[in-house]
Each structure stands twice: as C-alpha cells, then as structure tokens.
Chain A
Amino acid sequence: MKKRGIGYGSMFYGLGYGFSRTDIASATLEISQDGSIIARSGEVDYGQGSDTVFCQIIAEELGVDYSAIKLITADTDVTPDSGPTSASRLTFVGGNAFIKTSRSLKKILNGVAEDILGASDLVFREGMVFSRSAPEKSISFKKLAGRAYARGVPAVVTEWYNNTTQDVDPETGQGDAYATYCWATQMAEVEVDTETGRVEVLRIVAVTDVGKALNPLNCEAQIEGGVVQGLGYALEEEIKEEGGYVKTGTLGEYMIPTSLDIPTIEVHLLEVTEPKGPYGAKGVGEPALIPTPPAVLNAVRDALGLRIHKLPANLENVYHLINGAEAGN
C-alpha cells in the first residue's frame, strides 16, 4: 500500500564561527591606469558562487561591469587572508570586507572626481561618474582612473572585516555566541510503499530567510542543491563502519541521488534584513540543507504513524519500522 504524508522541518543556524573563534576577512582592490579592476580575496569559491557575489558587490559600489572584474582568490602569496570557506560566512564576512574596500577606493576616486568635475553629488554608475543634479558633469570611470593615477593617489586599498564574537560562559554555555542567525523552514510530501519500505519524496517547499538575495539565481541553486543533499541523507546515504573498517568504498555502494530521484522543489526566498549583513544579506549554504531531513522524516512519520529513530529512512529501516523490528540492521 502507498501511504502519503506531510512533514515540516525548521532550523536556525549561527552564521560564522562564533564563540570568540577568529572570524576575519580581508579584501584588496587595485585599480589599473585604464580603470580595469583587480580584486583579491583569500576566500575559496568551491562551487557555491561567492566569486560572483564578490564581483557584484564591487560592481555595485563602483558602478562598473561585474563581469569585467578580475578576481584573484586564495593564493597565499598574492591574496590577503580572508579565513576559510565555511560556516555559511562568505557572503557575510567576505562580502562586508569587499563593501569596505570598495567604499574606501570609491572615496579616493570620488575626491579626484569632485575636483575634476566641480561637483560634490557624484554618482558612480554604468562605468560613468556624474553629478546627480547636473548629469552633464561627467567623466568615465576609466578616464577617472587614469587621472587619479596621474595625480599619484593610492590605487590599492585593503580592508578588513572582523566578525569575531565574544565567547560564552564556560559553565552555562550562555552568551551572545553569534553575530547573526539564518532561518529556514521546509515542507516535504512523501509517499511510502509499505510493502517495500521505499520512501518517495514527491515535493519539497523550501522557505529560506536569506536576509537579502544578492544573486537570487545563486540562492535558488544553492537551496536546490542543499535539498537534494538533504534527501540523500534522509533516505539512503550511509557510510557503514564496522569494527573500525569502512564498508562503503564505491559510489555504487554509497549512493547519492541521481536526476531521477529528485522531487519537485519550490524555493521561496525571504528577506528579513540583517543590519550588519552586506545589503542585509545572511548566509544560505547550510540553511539550504538542514531542514530537508527533518521535514522528510516527519513526513514519513505522518504517513505511517511511526517514527524512524535510526537514520537513514532506507528500504530496510522503514520496512522494519512498519513491521515492528526497527532495531534490525
């Protein structure tokens, strides 16, 4: 028999390291005489998209094309230390570092432009710098860079963002451990085949508070990926260790979801602004994945009236749960 169920999973996640662990990022911007920009950060984009977001931040602040920025990351001889890629911290900590850097550089260029244009209400936009009240007073960003170089003003700026928090009381664990938190709720609809123990996830609705979606496409992509990784955890993935030996040594035995295993995934991005975040943004990497397993497991509980205590909810564990032998292997 096929039984359907619905379940929810909510979570919160402290962004950054917290607990007084060093949580810093530095960022460098260098402007060439022709106005092209080299940005440097110690952060690694291992696929989640931070490079793109950093370029967007710089472009936003300086009014230039984001795709023309050359971003060099994570080369210990060349880039400053920005801390590791973890704890959903990159957009928040690294992004803030780039906002600071961009604004410092802009301040320098703005001074030169004010002098050249004889206006103080300057806007940096689409590769131009112009007066808001008198737009005809303008100079291209490229030209401005050359003029600034000719005057010998600094062309390299490095800034530092420190997200290190206080520690908590060691006896009670109480205190302001984190700078901010991320929030998410997901819903899962599942169908359980009581005769085989197979759980099929039909649908996931993911609601994530991202603070501000700096790149909504990226946010969605991260969430979709997190959901599917969470499904794998909930249903099938398990590294088996016996007596200190690992029994799952191939991707044929350790099975992650394929394109045929994914449900419908609906993503909703909420923007509850975080004042300290870059443009209000928080992290999304981990909040994408965490609510999925509890939502799926709660949906299985809803379908069966029985609860899995030993993860994952694979064929055997679910079948034995239904048939009253949960402790089975």
Chain B
Amino acid sequence: MAKDQDKTILKMTVNGEPVEVAVNPAWTLLRVIREELGLTGTKEGCGIGDCGACTVLLEGKTVNSCLVLALQAEGKEVRTVEGLGTEENLDPLQESFIEYGAVQCGFCTPGMLISARALLDKNPHPTTEEIKVAISGNLCRCTGYVKIIQAIEIVAQEG
C-alpha cells in the first residue's frame, strides 16, 4: 500500500483554484486529477501518450497529463475540461461541439476541447489546416473528425 509517509505535498492551481494534495512521487498528473481531485472529465485512453484523451493545459500549453509526473506540476497552473465552461456559461467551443454534432461517444471530447481551446487562445482565426494540426494529437474513433473540425472552424470564424 502506498504509505502516507512516502507522499509529498503538491501545490498547484487547478481551474483557477489553488489545491494542495499529498501525492506519491510515482503518480502522474492524470492520476492526481482523476483520482485525488475527482475531476474525471479528463480521460485515460492509453496511459502512454498515444491518444490525447488526457489532454489538459499546463501553463496554458496542451500536455498529455499521463506523461507528466504530478510533482512536475508543482507551482504550476492546470486547466481541465471542468474549467472550460459551465452549463449556464458554456465555452463557445462547447456550444459549437453540441450544435454541430462533434460529440459522439464523448470520450475524446474533453481532450479535444482542451486542444481546440489552446489553439484559439493563441490563434483566434486559424486555418482549417491549423485546426487539423492542433487536434492531431487527439485520437477520435467515432466522428472521423469532420464535425469536430467544422465545430472549431465555426467558433474561429465568429471569434
């Protein structure tokens, strides 16, 4: 059993809120987000950086949270899908994903939204090719990407 004396206190900011959590140095950021903080919107699809389902923003940049040790996030800012929008105040990308049919099974959706958000924060009016590149680290098996790309394009045009 992971003994508490093995654990280190990790301080970081998650979705704007400072958090302190005791972590084992072997844990990944993904594990801490999901199991310790209960933010299960971030998904694990492979655990080794091959699928992008666990994408979060670390200091504003997309990372596979399965490929970051929790302690590497010390003092840093993390943003997950839960920090993107609320039911009352959806991120325009969330609205667009709903309206234009970009969601099917939904398992890639949180990571996909995070990658799209990172793109638009940096480049509000990307080309279609730039959108494809931005989500090229996020696998989707249901949609064939077409409606996802379209949903992002629409926000980019309006944005």
B144 touches which of A47, A227, A250, A251 (Cβ 8 Å): A227
Q: Which stretch (A58-66, A131-139, A155-163, A253-261) binds chain B?
A: A253-261
12 residue pairs A–B, Cβ–Cβ below 8 Å: A47-B104, A220-B101, A220-B147, A225-B143, A228-B144, A228-B145, A250-B46, A256-B139, A260-B132, A260-B136, A262-B146, A265-B144
A186–B147 Cα distance when bound, in Å, is 19
Taking a contact as CB atoms under 8 Å apart, the answer to whether A259 and B50 are in contact is no
Indicate with 1 or 0, residue by residue over B121-142, a CB within 8 angstroms of chain A CB atoms: 0000000000111011111111
Taking a contact as CB atoms under 8 Å apart, the answer to whether A47 and B106 are in contact is yes
Within 8 A of B (CB), among A199-236: 217-218, 220-221, 224-229
CB-CB under 8 A from B90, the residues of chain A are none
CB-CB under 8 A from A245, the residues of chain B are none
Q: Does B10 contact A (CB under 8 A)?
A: no
A49–B148 Cα distance when bound, in Å, is 16
Indicate with 1 or 0, residue by residue over B95-138, a CB within 8 angstroms of chain A CB atoms: 00000110011110000000000000000000000011101111
Indicate with 1 or 0, residue by residue over A257-283, a CB within 8 angstroms of chain B CB atoms: 011101001000000000000000000
With A250-B46, A251-B51, A260-B133 in contact, is A46–B105 under 8 Å at CB? yes
A32–B136 Cα distance when bound, in Å, is 47
Taking a contact as CB atoms under 8 Å apart, the answer to whether B50 and A225 are in contact is no
CB-CB under 8 A from A217, the residues of chain B are 100-101
A162–B142 Cα distance when bound, in Å, is 29
B154, chain A: closest CB distance, angstroms:
14
Q: Does A48 contact B (CB under 8 A)?
A: yes
Taking a contact as CB atoms under 8 Å apart, the answer to whether B101 and A221 are in contact is yes
Q: Does A252 contact B (CB under 8 A)?
A: yes
B24, chain A: closest CB distance, angstroms:
24
Taking a contact as CB atoms under 8 Å apart, the answer to whether A259 and B141 are in contact is no
A228–B105 Cα distance when bound, in Å, is 16
Taking a contact as CB atoms under 8 Å apart, the answer to whether A47 and B105 are in contact is yes
Taking a contact as CB atoms under 8 Å apart, the answer to whether A226 and B144 are in contact is yes
Q: Does B149 contact A (CB under 8 A)?
A: yes
**Of residues A48, A226, A228, which shows the largest number of chain B Cβ atoms within 10 Å of its Cβ?**
A228
CB-CB under 8 A from A226, the residues of chain B are 144
B104 touches which of A221, A256, A259 (Cβ 8 Å): A221
CB-CB under 8 A from B139, the residues of chain A are 251, 256, 258
Q: Does B48 contact A (CB under 8 A)?
A: yes
Of all chain A residues, the one with the shortest Cβ separation from B100 is A217
CB-CB under 8 A from A251, the residues of chain B are 45-46, 50-51, 139
Of all chain B residues, the one with the shortest Cβ separation from A288 is B144
Taking a contact as CB atoms under 8 Å apart, the answer to whether B101 and A250 are in contact is no
CB-CB under 8 A from B142, the residues of chain A are 47-48, 221, 225
Within 8 A of A (CB), among B40-76: 45-46, 48, 50-51
Of all chain A residues, the one with the shortest Cβ separation from B145 is A259
A225–B105 Cα distance when bound, in Å, is 11
With A259-B135, A259-B136, A265-B146 in contact, is A225–B46 under 8 Å at CB? no
CB-CB under 8 A from A256, the residues of chain B are 139, 141
With A47-B106, A228-B144, A265-B144 in contact, is A259–B138 under 8 Å at CB? yes
A251–B149 Cα distance when bound, in Å, is 22
Indicate with 1 or 0, residue by residue over B18-54, a CB within 8 angstroms of chain A CB atoms: 0000000000000000000000000001101011000
CB-CB under 8 A from B149, the residues of chain A are 259
Taking a contact as CB atoms under 8 Å apart, the answer to whether A218 and B136 are in contact is no
With A46-B105, A265-B146 in contact, is A225–B141 under 8 Å at CB? yes
Given A224-B144, A258-B139, A265-B144, 12 further pairs, Cβ under 8 A: A47-B104, A47-B106, A49-B104, A217-B100, A221-B146, A224-B146, A225-B142, A225-B144, A227-B144, A251-B139, A256-B141, A259-B131
A48–B143 Cα distance when bound, in Å, is 9
